[in-house]
Structure 1
Amino acid sequence: MTDRVQVAIVGAGPVGATAANLLGTYGVTTLIIDREPDVVTYPRAIGVDDETLRTFQTVGLADEVLRSAIQNVPLKFFDASGRCLADIRPTAQDYGWYKRNIFLQPEAEAVLRRGLDRFPHVQVMLGTELRQIRQDADGVTLTLAGSREVRADYVIAADGGRSSVRGLLGIPLEGATHPRKWVVIDCANDPLDAPYTALHCDPRRPYVCAHLPDDRRRWEFMLFPGEDADEMLAPDRVRDLLRHHVADPEVVEVVRARVYTHHSRIATRFTDGRIALAGDAAHLMPPWAGQGMNTGIRDVTNLCWKLAATVRDQAGHALLGTYDRERRPHARAMIELSTTLGRILSPTRRSLAHARNWFLRAASLAPAVKRWVLEMRFKPIPHYRGGFVAGADVPGVGRMFVQPRVETATGTHPRLDDVLGPWFAVIGFECDPLAGLGDAELGAMKIFNPRIVKIVESRAGERHHEQHCVDPGTIVVEDVHNELRPWFRSRGRDVVLVRPDRYVAALTTADALGSAIMNLAEQFGSAQR
């Protein structure tokens, strides 16, 4: 007997569980399987960024994840003498959340898995191993342990760096494996007063020291050639590593120690027929930018709405091709950033370390460079030029839309996404966004089933709120902190079509919105054929 679902997900880690929550939110029948019977507890990701939190907000779990997280955590680089070379502390909340937050991955995973209980159309099978996968023109058949078969319209492979799905498909990873290994030690009873993440560029032994929630701390030490990885995990050797950095290592409770090898690799393609790779199954990167898990969350945030539109017959299979075109270049950019930060951290030759220190100190004297570092502007921002967008040359199109707080008619101040809802949205700034559309264009608009929102200036007055709109269900909110006015005015447009992943599909005026809608509807329509 074969079970049938619209989407099957292999891997219930943070990327797979986020995908299942997104699909659950979109009403897609989903099966998620994982060979592990419970959440894995060994050291992994500790950083969650603003883009990931925005996705968690979409599925209604951001606040619960943050209950056990530390928000707005600085990142610092130190030289061997303890002098600070760079202090990165971005405070802007362009997307509605802080850019650097520290969490415990097992606790966040537990929140994501509990979130699936809300969806009767999402089935979870833990302790279940995938044995075989084969696809044809109409779907994908997964053979599970015990000879059980599942038939799915589409499959997301979120099964980690050693992805069995990627292996079965024969998709290679391009890139390199780094020669140096690192010991990762998670400790309780943190004895240090250092509430930040520190990258210590010490040529004697480069290391990382990160303050974690619940009085914990993570240490990561580079291993040198000739040092045996297994021997370095012996309790006495772990204490020796800590002895140089804490007054009394005996008071530190070592929760877990493991040795990791770092990779800078990316799959040659993110899709194969009806199967899509996401997270570590699609790309591997060193941990220094804290972007491995976050890049995987971006993957499924981009992917899941496209799968939902496809299985609901709003769009066809061709839409899946935009996933690779949009996500793969940005994943590569994140790998390059993470690799570069590792090169800054890890020189063991004193001459190279001295040159690096001199360069970073000199650069920090330039105000523009200092702001660039302080606000973390070196982090690559996704820009989807060649995917599902209309007018890719318009500034702002293909980039994530901002998320300030707005004021509703009842006086509450929600984040903007909570007004937009989880699907498409059309927003007009101080205008009715649908006012310039004809009947054909209004008909084409229905394919996206968007929520219509009109934004008026702060304290605009009753007559601005009560103006007639083409769509009687239009939601009117105020730009309470005057953050949206400069965004629209600087781009010379007043209407935006926002995708479910919060990226701008079109930025135009009310008079010209019709052509953008017809363009995007044609992309959906051609996908159906």
Structure 2
Amino acid sequence: MSTTVIDALVVGAGPVGLTLANLLGQQGVDVLLVEKEEGLIDYPRAVGIDDEALRAMQTAGLVDEVLPHTIPDQKIYMINGGRMILSEVNPTTREFGWPRRNGFVQPLVDQALLAGLDRFPNVAVRFGSEVTDLVEDMDGVVATFAAGGTVRARYVVAAEGGASPTRKRLGISFDGETRPTDGIVIDVANDPIGTPHAVFGGDPARSYASIALPHGIRRWEFTLFEDEAADVVEDDAYIAALLAPHVPDPSRLDIIRRRVYRHHARIAGRFRSGRIFLAGDAAHVMPVVGGQGWNSGIRDAFNLGWKLAAVLKGLSTDALLDTYETERRGHVTQMMAVSLEMAKEMTDHDPEKAAERDRIAANRTPEERDAQKRQAFKPQPKFDEGVVVHTPLPTSKSLPARDVPRLAGSLFPQPQATDADGVEMLLDEATGQGWRVITWNNDPAVFLSAQRLAVLDRVGARLVQVVPKAQLPWARKHATSGVTVVGDLGGESSLQAWFDARPVGAVVVRPDHVIAAECLAQELDDVLFAVLEVASIV
């Protein structure tokens, strides 16, 4: 029997595997996505999607299918046992083009991601297909399936959840902690509360969460104490007693499902073993309170997707794939620490510790409350190593001396802008996706050598000239052939404001919207050469 040969095998049709398959499908990579279950999981798990993940959905061409299943700008109130507001989370800015916090229904978003794969004849999906063995050799990995048959893939990505058989088969550790108490999730249709926000209740008697979800769904989560058996979730009287303080009549609730889950904070000892990668919960899990488990998995797919496609298409060497763990591990560790701290703060059932928490909250300054409201506690991705080039601060006397943080390794903003015809849209739509060299006012082609331009053409990079909207007719007429002209709308969130705040006139932006390097216009050719080197572009 012959063995099918493919570029990439993705194991697990959860949100990470589905997102990765879409991103690879866009790049023309031959993908097989396999899932041991007979279909998608149909019960809600994650309930929050952030702006970075929505930008990834935009890049995958699926954001319009995802948005109908979201509640944009969803507030979170942290309250104590007496319902006093300890803090409010309500970030309303749009740095990356989308609301920073959104409630969502995961199964419906997963369905949209699955349907998106129908766009790509180079992507196949097999449900009821369990991988039982992976054997790597010099040229790839041979996967064996429980129902018989094998597949040879050049690379494999395991995204099959926290219990990942692949991670265990590879003998990779999963270090961290499991909290001593479980949680109960109860999802209810025809939301009996009917308000749009989410509440996290740090009640020392029993902590809980009450979260409005799209389409009239309400999610409750309660702590299950150590002396309570997991099967209590099936006891109607027990569930009614839990919900009695929250609704006028628990007997009239339309309960969709109820489940028990564990609180884990763990990270894999490594994310790569040869040609096999771990992503999403297979690589890391964190408490649900921070709402970042799902989003962290999407970041994995977004980071790994463009790199895997570049290597498979012969644009970069295999060394590029080592930067996946280099870049993702640090941010995942930060997010895990934040989530764990939030979980401990809101689920501590020691009355004295809860009282101390309440006292601290009551004495916060207005500045501290504003920082919490803006979600300043959430660490943004920032890579010090990987596909990033850190340039020194310019010493030009044409620039004021300012202590400005360097932004290479962080996400480039996505304000509203215009295309060359003056039509308003989000920046990524105006520039197009993929590698981008973006300059303020200048024609970037003028500053690049023929050698650099040839490499950029080979990798499908875009040269982008940003000008004030008033200059569009002139810039469009005089721009070098192949340069994309974008109109800036001005104002506090504009690209002009972004460039004005820092001593650079050019940026190199990666396919995942991370700033690979920033520099003065005249330095662009040399800096781009350094970027191409760290990106292992051949």
TM-score by length of 2: 0.95
Q: Extract unaligned runs of 5+ from structure 2.
A: 394-405
SS in 1 for 2:156: strand
Tell me how far 1:393 sits from its aligned partner: 6.1
1:480 aligned partner: 489
* Superposition deviation, residue 459 in structure 1: 2.1
**In 1, Cα distance between equivalents of 2:67 and 2:522:** 42
Is 1:445 equivalent to 2:446 in the alignment? no
Alpha-carbon distance, 1:523 to partner: 3.0
Runs ≥4 residues deviating over 6 A: none
**Distance in 1 separating the partners of 2:506 and 2:42:** 46
CA distance in 1, matches of 2:455, 2:69: 44
1:413 paired residue number: 424
Whether the aligned pair in 2 keeps the contact of 1:444 and 1:517 (CA below 8 Å) is no
CA distance in 2, matches of 1:392, 1:358: 45
Q: Does 1:459 align with 2:470?
A: yes
In the other structure, the counterpart of 2:534 is 523
Report the equivalent of 2:201. Answer: 200
2-structure distance, mates of 1:510, 1:326: 27
The residue correspondences of 1:392-407 to structure 2 (distance < 5 A) are 395-407=406-418
- Cα distance per residue 1:323-353 (max 9 Å; x no partner): 0100011111111111000111012121111
CA RMSD of aligned residues (A): 1.4
Tell me the secondary structure at the aligned position of residue 512 of structure 1: helix
| Structure 1 Cα separation of the partners of residues 175 and 448 of structure 2 | 47
Report 1:82-481 matches (<5 A): 82-363=83-364, 366-391=365-390, 395-460=406-471, 462-469=473-480, 472-481=481-490
Rate the CA distance shift 1:121–1:421 in 2: closer, same or farther, 3 A: same
Q: Which residue does 1:30 correspond to in 2?
A: 31
Q: CA deviation at 1:81?
A: 1.2
Measured after TM superposition, the shift of residue 367 of structure 1 is 3.0
The amino acid across from 1:127 in the alignment is G
Amino acid at match of 2:501: S
Q: 1:313 to 1:244 in 2, by over 3 A?
A: same
Q: More displaced, 438-447 or 333-342? A: 438-447
Q: Distance in 1 between matches of 2:322 and 2:140?
A: 16
Amino acid in the other structure paired with 1:416: L
Contact 2:233 2:258 in 1 (8 A): no
CA shift in 2, pair 1:349/1:468, >3 Å: closer
Secondary structure of the 1:214 match is helix
Structure 1: gaps (5+ residues): none
Q: CA deviation at 1:37?
A: 1.4
Quick one: distance in 2 between partners of 1:392 and 1:65? 38
Rounded to whole Å, the distance in 1 between the matches of 2:478 and 2:15 is: 44
Q: CA deviation at 1:446?
A: 3.5
Is residue 495 of structure 1 aligned with residue 496 of structure 2?
A: no
8 Å CA contact 2:490–2:497 kept in 1: the answer is no
Change (3 A) 1:53 1:248: same
Residue 223 (structure 1) shift:
1.6
The answer on whether the counterparts of 2:418 and 2:430 sit within 8 Å (CA) in structure 1 is: no
Residue type of the alignment partner of 1:194: T
Distance in 1 (CA, whole Å) between partners of 2:307 and 2:469 is 35
| Cα displacement (A) at 1:392 | 6.1
Q: Is the 8 A contact 1:43 1:256 kept in 2?
A: no
How many angstroms does 1:447 deviate by? 4.5
| Aligned match of 1:53 | 54
User: Greater shift after overlay, 403-412 or 261-270?
Assistant: 403-412
SS of residue in 1 equivalent to 2:200: strand
1:487 aligned counterpart, secondary structure: helix
Once the two structures are overlaid, the 10-residue window that deviates more, 4-13 or 140-149, is: 140-149
After superposition, the C-alpha distances for 1:41-67 in whole angstroms (9 at most, x for unaligned) are: 223111111000000001111111111
Cα displacement (A) at 1:178? 0.5
Give the superposition deviation at 1:425. Answer: 1.0
**How far does the alpha carbon of each residue in 1:25-46 deviate from its partner, in whole angstroms, 9 at most, with x for none?**
1111111000111111223111
Choose 285-294 or 435-444, whichever is displaced more.
435-444
Deviation at 1:237, TM superposition (A): 1.0
Secondary structure, counterpart of 2:407 in structure 1:
coil
Q: Deviations over 1:348-373 (max 9, x none)?
A: 1211111001111211xx23212211
Q: C-alpha distance in 1, partners of 2:392/2:273?
A: 29
TM-score normalised over the length of structure 1: 0.96
Q: Which deviates the most, 193-202 or 444-453?
A: 444-453
State whether residues 452 and 525 of structure 2, in contact with CA within 8 Å, keep that contact through their aligned partners in structure 1: yes
Superposed CA offset, 1:287-335 (max 9, x none): 0011001000000100010011101111111111000100011111111
CA distance in 2, matches of 1:262, 1:455: 47
Task: Confirm or deny: 8 A CA contact 2:307 2:321 kept in the other structure.
Answer: yes
Contact in 2 for aligned 1:264/1:339 (Cα 8 Å): yes
- Greater CA deviation, 303-312 or 218-227? 218-227
Higher deviation after alignment, 211-220 or 429-438? 429-438
Q: Distance in 1 between matches of 2:490 and 2:192?
A: 41
Task: Tell me which residue corresponds to 2:397.
Answer: none
- The one-letter amino acid of 2:158's match is A
Deviation at 1:73, TM superposition (A): 0.3
**Partner Cα distance (2:24, 2:451) in 1:** 30
Letter in 1 for 2:385: G
Please say if residues 407 and 480 of structure 1, whose CA atoms lie closer than 8 Å, have aligned partners that are also in contact.
yes
Inter-partner Cα distance in structure 2 for 1:174 and 1:379: 22
For the 8 Å contact 1:405–1:481, the answer to whether it is kept is no
Aligned partner of residue 506 in structure 1, secondary structure = strand
* Cα displacement (A) at 1:282: 0.2
SS at match of 2:354: helix
